[in-house]
Amino acid sequence: MSFLALSVLLSLVSAVAYAAGAIVQERVAASAAGRRAYAPLRSAAWWGAVGLNGVGALLHVVALAYGPLTVVQPLGALTIVFALPMAALLVRRRVGAVAWRGALMATAGLAGLLALTAEAGARSVDGGSRLLLAGLGAGAVALLYGAARGVRRPVARGVLLAGGAGVAFGVASVFTKTVAVDLMARDAPFPWPSLSAIAALAAAGLLLSQAAYRGAGLTAPLATVTVTNPVVAAAVGLTLFGEGFRYGVPGTVLALGCGVLAAGGLILLTAVPPEPERARAQPPSQTHAAGPQVGEGVDVGPVPRPRPHLEVEVRSGAVAGGS
Query: What is the tens place of the pLDDT at every residue in 65-100?
Result: 787 766 776 677 778 778 888 888 887 777 778 878
Please tell me the least confidently modeled range out of 130-139, 179-188, 190-199, 206-215. 179-188
Q: Are 91 and 247 within 8 A, CB to CB? A: no
Which pLDDT score is estimated for 241? Answer: 67
Q: Are 152 and 161 within 8 A, CB to CB? A: no
Q: How high does pLDDT run on average in the chain?
A: 76
Q: Is 117 helix (H, G, I), strand (E, B) or coil?
A: strand
Query: What is the tens place of the pLDDT at every residue in 132-187?
Result: 888 999 999 999 999 999 998 888 899 999 999 999 998 988 888 788 777 776 66
Q: pTM (2 decimals)?
A: 0.70
Q: Is 46 helix (H, G, I), strand (E, B) or coil?
A: helix
Q: Please name which of 318, 122, 96, 312 lies closest in space to residue 219, comparing C-alpha atoms.
A: 96
Q: Which residues of 112-140 are buried (b: 16+ CB within 10 A; e: fewer)?
A: bbbebbeeeebebbeeeebeebbeebbeb
C-alpha–C-alpha distance, residues 199 and 206, integer Å: 11
Q: Please name which of 226, 2, 17 lies closest in space to residue 104, comparing C-alpha atoms.
A: 226
Has residue 101 got a pLDDT over 90?
Answer: no
Query: What is the tens place of the pLDDT at every residue in 10-58?
Result: 989 999 999 999 998 888 887 766 566 555 667 788 889 889 988 988 8
